[in-house]
Structure formats: structure tokens, C-alpha cells
Structure 1
């Protein structure tokens, strides 16, 4: 039996909260103790995404990201009436997650905020590219025979971990407006926050366009209907 919208939204709130607790929580732990290192923080993001996909994927699709939800809608694989409720649930979950992280953070912590290492425009380009890569992988491994299964979750989580590993020192490798806005809100660190909304949305929509080009004509026609 299909889940109700309320159940799906609860899964998105819970999943996005857990993503922030363990993802940005790892960044805060490393900030305070220097016990993890950048590679371990990137691994934490990848691991928590894998666990969430495996546990919540059949409940809500486990988007955890307004840009991903928007991308699925643009690809014709998600109902338009659910886009705003999903995004609201993700933002609420992220805020709850950051709130819990703040309880263990030292005063003055940025709570794992995403900040550009160099210029804003360079960071915008990087965030667009990273989200493009993530969304393209998501679209390609959640279609046809690969739609359900551990390998799809592994591919998506590995992409998150890889991009966090490489892009993290440059932009924080957000790829997710909810992931960036909640630490900014609770820490008060709003430096260039807009690029962590514009970049992921642009990257997700670009991935949808490229995915359509890569699809066989019969499948593309089916998705368009």
C-alpha cells in the first residue's frame, strides 16, 4: 500500500535531520577535537547517505535535498504538488539536525557551515558542477532495472563521499540548499549563502537536461508523458 504524503514528509524530516546530525556533526567534532580529518568527514557524509537510502528510500524516495526533489520533478518523475511540501520537510529536518549539533558544539562554532575557500563565482561553479554530477548519478541509477537495490544506494552515497572529499576544501561540497541554510541560520554565518541555493538548483536542472539527451528515445518519450 502506498504511503500517505504525511508519512513521506515525516521520512524526509527524519532523514534530513540525521544527515545533518552525522554529516555536519562530524565536521563539528573534527573542528573541536581534530580527531577525524577531512577524509573522515567526507566519509561520514557518504556513509550516512547510504544508510538513509537503504532505510528510508522506500518510504519517501529519500531525497533529503530540495535540489534533488526539484530535479525529479523536472525529469517528470515526481508530482509537482509534492515539491514544496518535500522542500519544507527537508528544511525543517535540517534545522532540527543543526539544532541538535549545536547542543554539543562549542560557542562560536559555525556548525559545519559551507563557506567558499576563494571567490564566490568559483564556488558557484563548483557547487553547480558537483550537484550536476550527483543528480546525474541519481537519475541514471534510479531508472529501469536499477531503480531498487543496494547498488543504487551505494553509487549515490559513493558520489556524495567522493565529491565531499574533493570539493569539500573548496566550497564545503554542499550540493544541498537545506544542508547549507540550516547551519547558516543557527550559527549566523551567512557568507555567500545564495550560491548554495543557486548552484545546486542549476546543477540539478542541468543534469536533468543531460539525462534526457542520454536516454534511449523510447524511455525519454515515456518519461515525458
Structure 2
């Protein structure tokens, strides 16, 4: 069974950790900029709800795939739920996870602030539950969607026996994000990512249902990491120390 590595505060002073945090800020910023920007563009353009949903899903598919690849130094998490999923699998320390969370939230907020400025103050769309969707339903939606995201991350990038999938992980992860937006977007908003929800909520000042987008994704991400690492991966080495790389 994978053990959670605590780590130590001195990690953040090490060059590899500093580089990882900088890269994580950059790729999360660019991910949120494109993701939230696509939602703002969809609201501005005329084309109907279905076209807007497709537009946003495709944009997220592309940007997730590219930013994971571009963020190889940090692991390209882009998402506190991914970080906690890897934490529960023993791939990142608690200390570094905390710094990743801070960086991801800062990057998301900065991206949304810039978008508000560049669009002349257009309304920043926030994740809220659709009419008729209760809190319990919203949480379950986010748990299931985020579980599928982390299960894909593990199967295509973390599992040492990924075989023919090696190298396709970022693209396949992007595809599952796009698919989840198509199915869950009209109901829970299909956040799967507390940072993706936090930036828009902060800039718009709208916190309706916001807690759902922390509880659901973190449960789903952590559960997927724990299940995949302990049931499906066969390893011949000891879990990471506090200085080991993310993936």
C-alpha cells in the first residue's frame, strides 16, 4: 500500500522545487486563461447552448493536453485534485502539494483578472449547479468526473506498465476532460478542478455552490489515486522520498 510522504519545509528552497513551482504557475495560468477565455468567448458569440458547450469542451481538450506536456518539469498538474490524487498514491509530498495548491490558485486568479481586463470587463463565468441539481447530485457528479480524470492520468502517465499508451497520456487526459465537460457541463459545470473554479469565483465575486467544486473533485481525485495505486500498480521500488520528481 502506498504511503503518503510528508516531506519537509526545506523542499521549497531546493532548485528543482522552485523550477517546478514556476512551471506549475505558468501552465496553470495558461490553462485557465484558455479555459475561462473560451467560456467567455462562447457567451459573447451567437451560436446556441450546444455550440457553446462543444466550443468550451474542445478548447479544454486542447489546452489540457498541451499544458500537461509543456509542464513536464512540474508534472503539469494544473489542478489541486490531480495533486491530491498523486499525493494519495505516494508520488508527491504533503509539503510540495500544499505549495502546488497555492501556486495553482494564484495562477487561476491572475489569469481571470487578466481576462477581465482584456475583455473590457466582460462577466467572468463561474461554476454553479444547474437548476434542479442539488448539492448531493453536484458533489457526486464532480466525484465521478474527477475520478475518471485521475484514473486516466494514472493509467496513461503514472502506471509503469502503460505500454503502448506511453507518450499519449497528455492527449488522452485532454480528451477525457473534454468528454466530461460534454456530459457533465449542463448539470454540475464539470469543473473537476478547484483552481479552475476558484479564479472565476474570486474575480466575479460569486461564491454560489463554490464549496461543491472543492469537495467533489478532491474526493474523486484522492479516491482515484488511492484505488489505482493500491489495486492496479505493481511496483518494484520504494515510494518517493521528499526530493523525488512528481511523475
Instruction: Return the TM-score normalized by structure 1.
Output: 0.90
Supply the distance in 1 between the matched residues of 2:140 and 2:80 (Cα, whole angstroms).
19
Structure 1 unaligned regions, length at least 5: none
Supply the distance in 2 between the matched residues of 1:201 and 1:146 (Cα, whole angstroms).
25
Supply the distance in 2 between the matched residues of 1:43 and 1:91 (Cα, whole angstroms).
23
The C-alpha deviation readout for 1:81-126, integer Å capped at 9, x for no partner, is 20111111101110111111112446561x1311111222211110
8 Å Cα contact 1:108/1:187 also seen in 2: no
Q: Is 1:27–2:43 an aligned residue pair?
A: no
Structure 2 unaligned regions, length at least 5: 1-13, 242-247
**From 193, 203, 206, the counterpart of 1:189:** 206
Supply the distance in 1 between the matched residues of 2:15 and 2:54 (Cα, whole angstroms).
37
Supply the distance in 2 between the matched residues of 1:32 and 1:122 (Cα, whole angstroms).
29
Supply the distance in 1 between the matched residues of 2:236 and 2:190 (Cα, whole angstroms).
30
Corresponding residue for residue 76 of structure 1: 90
Shift >2 Å, 4+ stretches? 104-108, 145-150, 218-225
Shift of residue 7 of structure 1? 1.0
Supply the distance in 2 between the matched residues of 1:155 and 1:203 (Cα, whole angstroms).
18
Shift of residue 182 of structure 1? 0.9
8 Å Cα contact 1:25/1:112 also seen in 2: no
The C-alpha deviation readout for 1:138-171, integer Å capped at 9, x for no partner, is 1111221549953111111111111111111111
Relative to structure 1, the CA distance from residue 224 to residue 96 in structure 2 (aligned partners, 3 Å threshold; closer, same or farther) is closer
Corresponding residue for residue 95 of structure 1: 109
Supply the distance in 1 between the matched residues of 2:135 and 2:117 (Cα, whole angstroms).
30
Shift of residue 79 of structure 1? 2.0
Corresponding residue for residue 113 of structure 1: 126
The answer to which structure has the higher helix fraction is 1
Supply the distance in 2 between the matched residues of 1:153 and 1:14 (Cα, whole angstroms).
17
8 Å Cα contact 2:85/2:226 also seen in 1: no
